[in-house]
Amino acid sequence: MRRLLVAWLMLAACAAPAAAAELPDWSGTWTPFIGDQMRRIKTDPVPWTPAAAAQIAAMAAEEKAGNPRGLFIDCLPEGMPSWMLISHNALEFLFSPGRVTLLGESDGNRLRRIYTDGRAHSTDPDPSFHGESIGHWEDGTLVVDTVGVLPQAYIAVSEAVGLPNNGDLHVIERLHLAGPDTLHDDLQIIAPHVLTKPWTTTRIYYRQRARKYEIVEGECLQGSFTPSTDKYGNAIFVPVPQVNGNPKPQ
């Protein structure tokens, strides 16, 4: 009986979420290594299906010719996995019991909730831009499994080139420190409607501790407005005419 109790206690300890004291220090602001994002598109090529590859080639030609509309100019979230793949803006991690939260700069919708409380995926999660993320810790590595992503969420290789995942997206990530202030996100992206096989790639983030690099508020649509005053003298925003996400020259 005592042996059974010990075995049960050991099992319970393994299944329990990692205590905060056991977690690595991921505080600070993390800035993406943008140069490496661009390099990895060549070194870790995306295994597009032939039909997807043809669309990507056409989009790349459009960008080269200088007329892309851009994937994100409507200010919908970049979502998963594009946020991790192509963002040029900083992110931060918040650790709380049973959960890791990612917050990103520049777009008020950049937010991922990763549950590390031992739960399983929902049987039928409501689709969302960032999906349903369940994580667990393995010796300082946060392993994250994400499903339930909207089929419209892009797999982007740049702001102008990428395709919707078209459904059944599954992303597995291993986030870990590769140095005192360097974090790697090793991604495996499974998208059977646009990829011929899982796409494995890595994104690198650098830690900044100086206060001036702390993330500032950013609302994607704010750039579409300019400060003004109404007829009563109230401070208001008014729309800025735009062309393809840029202020329209006057």
Residues at the contact surface with another protein, assessed by CB under 8 A: 31, 33-35, 38, 63-68, 70, 72-73, 87-90, 105-107, 158-160, 179-182, 206-210, 212-213, 215-220, 222-223, 226-227, 244-250
* Shortest reach from residue 210's CB to another protein, in Å: 7
The dihedral region occupied by 20, where left means phi > 0, alpha psi between -120 and 50, and beta the remainder, is: alpha
Nearer to another protein, 72 or 115 (CB): 72
* Shortest reach from residue 159's CB to another protein, in Å: 4
Decide: helix, strand or coil at residue 60.
helix
**DSSP states along 123-154:** SSPPPBSS-EEEEEEETTEEEEEEE-B-TTSE
Nearer to another protein, 150 or 204 (CB): 204
* Shortest reach from residue 94's CB to another protein, in Å: 18
* Shortest reach from residue 91's CB to another protein, in Å: 10
Residue 112 CB-density burial (10 A; 0-12 exposed, 13-18 middle, 19+ buried): buried
Runs of H (alpha helix) within the chain? 2-15, 34-43, 50-65, 82-86
Residue 46 CB-density burial (10 A; 0-12 exposed, 13-18 middle, 19+ buried): buried
Nearer to another protein, 138 or 219 (CB): 219
Pairing assessment for the beta strands 154-156 and 162-164 based on DSSP bridges: antiparallel
* Shortest reach from residue 74's CB to another protein, in Å: 10
Nearer to another protein, 11 or 61 (CB): 61
Nearer to another protein, 32 or 148 (CB): 32
